[in-house]
Amino acid sequence: MLIKDNLTIKNKILQLLKVHHFNMNLSDALIGLFFDQTSLLNSFLDQDKAINKGSKSLGMMKALIHSKLALSLSNSIQKDLLNQVMNASIKELQLKDYIGNPFYQAMKSSFNSSGKWKLVQESYKPFQPVICGDVITLEHGDFLDITPIGYFKEKFSFLALKERDVTWMSITPFEIETMTVPLAKVRGTVLALGLGLGYFASMAAMKDNVDKVIVVEKDKKVIDLYRNYIQPLLPYQNKITIIHQDAFDFLNQKIKTDHIFVDIYRTAQDGLPLYAAFKKLENKFGDIEFHYWLEDSILGLFRRYLMIYLEEQLQGLKHENYQSPKTIDDRVLSEIHHLNHQRNIENITGLQSWLSKENMKRMIVDINI
C-alpha cells in the first residue's frame, strides 16, 4: 500500500489507530466483565440499598461498569474514549418490550428433552449486564465501536438450547434485537439458512406480507427439537417448510425466493469466512436480497484486520512479509495485502472510503479466507 507522505494523512491514521487499539482493549475488558459479574452485582446491590432500591439504577450501572472497564485501559486518551462509549452503550431494558414478543410468549414454559440436547429455561439476574445488540461503529467518529449493554431491574427468563452443558442457541434480547432489522425487511418467500430455535423463521411466518418460509438446516437433532417442542406451540407454522441439508449444497440448485437470511455461525469470528463465502455467491442470485445475522459485527472484525494492515504498512512491512501465512490471522492479512498492495491512499477522504462498510463488502468478495 502506498500512503502519501503527508503529515495530515499520517496524523489521521495515527488517530484511527488510537481508536482501533481502544476498541481492541475494550473488547477484552468486556469479555472479562461478562465472565465475572459477581463483584459488579454485589457492588451494585450494596449501593442500591443506600439509595431507595434502585431509583437511580441507570446512573449507578454506568458508573460501576465504567469503573470496572477503566481498570483495563492504559491511558487518558483511552479513558476519554471510554466516557464516550459509556454514554452511548448502557441502557435499562424494559420487560414489557420482550415479554410481549409472540415467540417469547409461546416459549415461556419450561421444556426438557432427552439425550445430549436439552431445551431449557435460563435467566438473567436483576441488574446483570448483558450485550443487547449488534455492534454500532461510528464511521464518522474514527470508527469507534459501541457495544450495546443492557440490564433488567427484574429477573428475565429465556429459552436456551444446550448440548450437555454448552449453550448453543438462545432467545435473549441480543438475538431478538439482532434479528429485528432483517425481519422488518423480508416479504414474499423467505429462505432462512440455519434453523436454531426457529425464532427468525417463526417471526417471519407471522408477518402478513410473508407468504412462505423455507428453512435449510443440516443438523437433524436441531430439526427434531424444533418440530417436537417448539413448532406445535407457534402460529402460522403451515407457512414453514424445513429442509434437512447443508446450506451450500442447497444453494447449488435453482432457488426461487425473494430474500435469503444467513445464520449458520455463532459469532463474528467464525462468521467472517462464511460471510465471505456467501458474499461471493450473491451475484449468482440476481435480485434476491441477502441478509446476514451479525453483519455489522463481522464487518467490524474485518475492519480491525484492515487497521492492523494499515499499522504494518506504516511500520514498513514489505511484500515478502505476507508470503507465508501460518495462522488464520496471517492468512487474512496476506489476502488483504495481495488485494491492496498497489492501492494509493492520497487523502483522508480516500482513507475513510477504504475503511467504509461498503468498500469492505466489495473487498471481502475478492479474498479467500
C-alpha span between 289 and 286 (Å, rounded): 8
Does 323 fall in a domain?
no
Written as one string, the DSSP assignment of 111-139 is ---SSSEEEEEEEEPTT--EE-S--EEET
Residue 152 has a pLDDT of 93
pLDDT digits (tens, 9 = 90+) for 14-26: 999 999 999 999 9
C-alpha span between 287 and 192 (Å, rounded): 16
Q: Are residues 191 and 270 in the same domain?
A: yes
Residue 166, pLDDT above cutoff 80: no
Q: Are residues 187 and 121 in the same domain?
A: no
pLDDT digits (tens, 9 = 90+) for 183-220: 999 999 999 999 999 999 999 999 999 999 999 999 99
Q: Are residues 190 and 158 in the same domain?
A: no
Residue 198 backbone zone (phi > 0: left; psi -120 to 50: alpha; other: beta): left
Residue 103, pLDDT above cutoff 80: yes
pLDDT digits (tens, 9 = 90+) for 60-95: 888 888 888 888 887 778 888 999 998 899 999 999
Q: Are residues 52 and 159 in the same domain?
A: yes
Residue 363, pLDDT above cutoff 90: yes
Mark which of 174, 202, 228 sits at the end of a domain.
174
Residue 175 has a pLDDT of 93
What are the counts of helices (DSSP H) followed by strands (DSSP E) for the chain? 16, 15
Residue 114 has a pLDDT of 58
Mean pLDDT of 13-40: 88
pLDDT confidence band for 109 (50 / 70 / 90): low
Cα–Cα nearest to 226, from 99, 105, 107? 107
Residue 49, pLDDT above cutoff 60: no
Question: Which CATH number covers residue 232?
Answer: 3.40.50.150
Mean pLDDT of 238-249: 97
Does 274 fall in a domain?
yes
Residue 110 has a pLDDT of 56
Residue 162 has a pLDDT of 79
Mean pLDDT of 258-269: 96
Does 319 fall in a domain?
no
pLDDT digits (tens, 9 = 90+) for 298-342: 999 999 999 999 999 999 999 999 999 999 999 999 999 999 999
Residue 104 has a pLDDT of 85
Mark which of 149, 174, 199 sits at the end of a domain.
174
Q: How many CB atoms lie within 10 A of CB 320?
A: 7
Residue 302 has a pLDDT of 98
Mean residue pLDDT across the chain: 90
Residue 2 has a pLDDT of 81
Residue percentage of the chain with pLDDT more than 90: 63
Residue 107 has a pLDDT of 77
Which domain, by its residues, includes 142?
A: 37-174
